[in-house]
Amino acid sequence: MNTGVISRRYAKALLAYAKADGKEEMIYEEVKTLAANYANISGLRRAIENPVLDAEKKLDLLREASGGKNVSKELMRFFRLVLEGRREKFLQFMTWSYIDLYREDKNILMGKLITAVPSERLVRHIVDLVGSRTHGDVELDARIDPDIIGGYIIELEGYRLDASVANQLKRVKQQFIAKNRRIV
């Protein structure tokens, strides 16, 4: 079977189970933590997929990678189901699928904001503005890049708005070069 199909089915089942108990937001946070640990800890995936490691040790690893002792019983039950079905090699994809399904269900838009200096006020303003226009929530990954000199760059759901000073200087330079070519 296809990796995406299996992962999506398990993620849908986890979301339905979490919604039935009213814990989808808590599980979303735990799954985001697990996904981040999969990305940051290279040995985690190898350990979870290791056939020599017994299921209880894998459960302990997954509990720690999902937030420690306070992991919900629903997520632990899901981990047991995955391990019993010998589907642990798809677990990372299941986390990504759950995150996507949750965001789609709750109408959460993902975006990235790059500024030259930290600006909580700008982040709040953009989140409020986009949220009011789309009637949804916005999660912005705010980053600092002094190379843009000033202004900001925002990427949201496939769209990009580059209002940085560096981009404006680049455009002025291109216009200047284009005009000077006609003179010569």
Tell me: do 73 and 15 sit in the same domain: yes
Residue 20 has a pLDDT of 95
Tell me: do 25 and 99 sit in the same domain: yes
**CB contact at 8 A, 107 and 135:** yes
Give residue-wise pLDDT tens across range 128-168.
Answer: 998 898 888 999 999 999 999 999 999 998 899 999 999 99
Q: Residue 75 pLDDT more than 80?
A: yes
Tell me: do 119 and 164 sit in the same domain: yes
> 136-166 burial by CB neighbour count: b if 16+ within 10 A, else e?
eebebebeeeeebeebbbbbbeeeeebebeb
**CB contact at 8 A, 10 and 88:** no
0.75 surpassed by pTM: yes
Contacts for 94 with CB less than 8 Å, ≥ 6 apart: 7, 10, 11, 14, 82, 87
Q: Residue 184 pLDDT more than 80?
A: no
**Range of the structural domain that residue 139 is part of:** 108-183
Tell me: do 47 and 79 sit in the same domain: yes
Domain-ending residue, one of 79, 104, 129: 104
- For residue 146, give the DSSP letter: G
Contacts for 134 with CB less than 8 Å, ≥ 6 apart: 107, 109
Helix, strand, or coil (residue 149): coil
Q: What is the CATH number of the domain that holds 136?
A: 3.30.360
Tell me: do 57 and 129 sit in the same domain: no
Token pair recorded at residue 13: 């089942």
**CB contact at 8 A, 100 and 130:** no
Tell me: do 8 and 68 sit in the same domain: yes
Give residue-wise pLDDT tens across range 95-133.
Answer: 999 999 999 999 999 999 999 999 999 999 999 998 898
Residue with tokens 């600006």: 119
Tell me: do 10 and 94 sit in the same domain: yes
Q: What is the CATH number of the domain that holds 59?
A: 1.10.520.20
Tell me: do 92 and 10 sit in the same domain: yes
Domain count for the chain, please give it. 2
